[in-house]
Chains A and B, each alone.
Chain A
């Protein structure tokens, strides 16, 4: 199958699909879409276009990254605007079909905007605040091309990079890569060209390429979206990597918690192999490259490159000390190139457009774009791709839409459990590898979690240490035992049991763990503790000196209290919702929470009707008036 023949076949497909008279309905059915109910929307569209099958086609696409607007659907009408609808439900589908498919009413009140400019009433999506600060390079096909059709990928320029690469010498490709200045997007930011060069120069005939698709950071889902929405980009990047470094086999190590991504990768692999774009003698050249998918088994440490290699070899996922680096001796002792999903996804474009194109965006030391997963207390959660150097403030307020429900910003966590929590004063920090490191955080794989005044920083540090402690592989004493002790100290503090000395101990132990750990998991595990101690010390001090949790989150230090002046008295919502039967009525009919029985589950606060809003949380617990703590006549639990 020659490149020219593929091109021609694909162009015919593409013409038929998009330049013809067919109206297209694209429904986003990646994981977030499905969780929001997009499969039911898909079914509804299929039902509603009964009878119009020749003229209307419904396709499943990936994710645009606008998770908080899902389910999303796009109607592409020949000769008219393409409109993107958000929060689509099966109930509005008949209206959309009647309105825009059968008729000429684009139902703009249900729309996010149009994909083309020039509309008078409609919003041009790229001009939305949400979009105009973004530079969607990796996301360019997501939510538009179907990941289930290789022809879409090829028609939008896919596999052109591989085709060009095969006509170049590996040294030329390495040169472009070096010009690009691309740094690994897995989190460490190691210069990709240097890694590829090291692998190329290593001794040994057999080499391997591994795509790190383990994405273990809680709060990170960028790689998942790319794999579910544009899988071919990664396959093409791996093939080019193989050609450049002399590898003939590639492995994608993907966490098992991503079943849809695994399924779509398999489909993409089959389609690419069928068309001669992977496998033996690719595009009629002498280069052969096959890719195998290896599923993870639930260990966060498997994301570390040497631990990942152990997992692929069928062993316990224990990291090894380096040197030797995997590029010298990795999988089965052979030179191995390990790169993150996003790093590989840039490769086809760098080959096509040149290293200079890539280096033209971003900053001097951190060129290119950065793909982030925005989560937490924001209006707009989902994916955002911005040029490196964009400020955190722009990311959080312009793109993220600011803190939802009108609450106050408190902190932003970048880099997952290995990263740091930064306060408001650091919001003008530009997002690039070096600036973030200076601030005490790390770029990480791209997870950004925003916290507000209702989140406790001590509880957050405890949460991250708990995670690292459970995921510690156990090899290094400092990490294995150190994270355990960090956790118990933090746990004590959240229960009001610490002292000021505990804060010094936390600091010292954190630095020891960083020094004494072999791999990135241990070395970075104390980062959330160190940054919260650095920027939020006042919260720690409130916990240990006053038994007060400023965010009123830590259960031992918080009491649920019903304000007598706000309690309606006539309803029973809180009493019925309380699983511990801890709410009783006083002599005036006002509800009271029995502090001895209360389990701090939060149900009463949730169910109290909005017009009364009578339930509040108090900290420290001694603020609860003495005469409203427990039912009169109840034997006290005090000794």
Chain B
């Protein structure tokens, strides 16, 4: 069996697929399983174990509110509530126009800047419920200029 098809590459393959397509579709998982010569049940079992993988399409901009210890103590929950309220979606959901998706994240290691929100690759330090509105309005392409 070619070394490329070694089962140990499953997680890496899924990570690459998700970084290109934004999520793992049913089809993608079936293909990955077939490529590596494993049952789709096994592949599914591995994919669903890890929090990183999502199975529904994401928004164009991914909003992640950090709820690690320092961010929680600094009021991270209130920031998360504010984002959910502003975007009118629940945690784990995507806005109707597919512009934003929202999730919490455990800790990105910027504890000195708590509470932290990341949108895409950008890190927003010292967030408050009030700042949330400003940031999201500025990022929404549909906002009036």
Contacts and interface: CB of A to CB of B under 8 A. Distances in A.
A239 B69 CA distance: 34
A110 to B, nearest CB: 20
Nearest to B68: A218
Contact of B109 (A224, A314, A449): A224
A68 B113 CA distance: 7
Given A298-B52, A451-B73, A375 B106 contact: no
Given A35-B125, A257-B105, A311 B11 contact: yes
Interface string B46-77: 10011111000000000000011111110100
B109 A382 contact: no
B51 to A, nearest CB: 4
Given A218-B107, A295-B15, A601 B8 contact: no
Interface string A480-502: 00000000000000000000000
Interface in A276-324: 294-300, 311-317
A606 B130 contact: yes
Given A32-B110, A316-B46, A579-B85, A455 B73 contact: yes
Interface residues on B, range: 35 or more
Nearest to A455: B73
Contact of A449 (B8, B45, B70, B85): B70
A216 B51 CA distance: 13
Contact of A298 (B8, B50, B81): B50
B116 A35 contact: yes
Given A314-B10, A602-B75, A68 B112 contact: yes
A316 B15 CA distance: 15
Looking at chain B's contact residues, is the secondary structure mostly helix, strand, loop, or mixed?
helix
Contacts of B67: 218
Interface string A582-611: 000000000000000001011100110000
Given A258-B109, A601-B129, A447 B51 contact: no
A217 B73 contact: no
Nearest to A223: B109
B107 A219 contact: yes
A36 interface: yes
A178 B59 CA distance: 53
A32 B124 CA distance: 10
A70 B8 CA distance: 40
B87 interface: no
Given A34-B123, A35-B125, A467-B106, A373 B73 contact: no
Contacts of A36: 113, 125
A601 B84 CA distance: 12
B128 interface: yes
B109 A603 contact: no
Contacts of A607: 130
Contact of B15 (A70, A256, A447, A577): A256
Contact of B129 (A256, A373, A602): A602
Among B15, B53, B73, B108, chain A packs the most CB atoms within 10 A around the CB of B73
Contacts of B109: 31, 215, 220-221, 224, 257-258
B133 to A, nearest CB: 10
Given A297-B51, A314-B46, A376 B70 contact: yes
A460 to B, nearest CB: 7
B82 interface: yes
A217 B113 contact: no
A221 B123 CA distance: 15
B69 A449 contact: yes
B52 A449 contact: no
A257 B106 CA distance: 10
Interface in B110-128: 110-114, 116, 121, 123-125, 128
Given A376-B70, A449-B69, A607-B130, A221 B110 contact: yes
A221 B116 CA distance: 14
Nearest to B131: A606
Interface string B7-21: 111111011000000
B130 A219 contact: no
Interface string A202-223: 0000000000000111111100
Contacts of B123: 31, 34-35
A458 interface: no
A381 interface: yes
Contacts of B75: 602
Contact of B111 (A70, A221, A451): A221
B49 A316 contact: yes
A579 B128 CA distance: 14
A313 B6 CA distance: 9
A113 interface: no
A413 interface: yes
Given A36-B125, A601-B81, A602-B75, A31 B10 contact: no
Contacts of B28: none
A306 to B, nearest CB: 15
A599 B129 CA distance: 13
B78 interface: yes
A460 B78 CA distance: 15
Nearest to A302: B50
A460 B121 CA distance: 29
B50 A297 contact: yes
Given A36-B125, A601-B81, A607-B130, A297 B73 contact: no
Contacts of A312: 8
Contacts of B15: 256, 295, 297
A460 B73 contact: yes
A313 B9 CA distance: 8
A371 to B, nearest CB: 14
Contacts of B7: 313-314
Nearest to A577: B130
A246 interface: no
3 closest residue pairs by CB, A with B = A218-B68, A67-B112, A218-B107
Given A300-B106, A473-B49, 16 more contacts: A31-B108, A32-B112, A35-B113, A221-B110, A313-B8, A375-B112, A376-B69, A381-B111, A417-B69, A447-B111, A464-B69, A471-B106, A579-B82, A599-B81, A601-B81, A606-B129
30 contacts: A31-B108, A31-B110, A35-B125, A67-B110, A67-B112, A68-B112, A218-B68, A218-B70, A219-B69, A219-B107, A219-B111, A221-B111, A256-B15, A295-B12, A298-B50, A298-B53, A314-B11, A316-B46, A373-B111, A376-B73, A416-B69, A417-B69, A447-B111, A449-B69, A464-B69, A599-B81, A601-B81, A602-B75, A602-B78, A603-B130
Interface of B: 6-12, 14-15, 45-46, 49-53, 67-73, 75, 78, 81-82, 85, 105-114, 116, 121, 123-125, 128-130
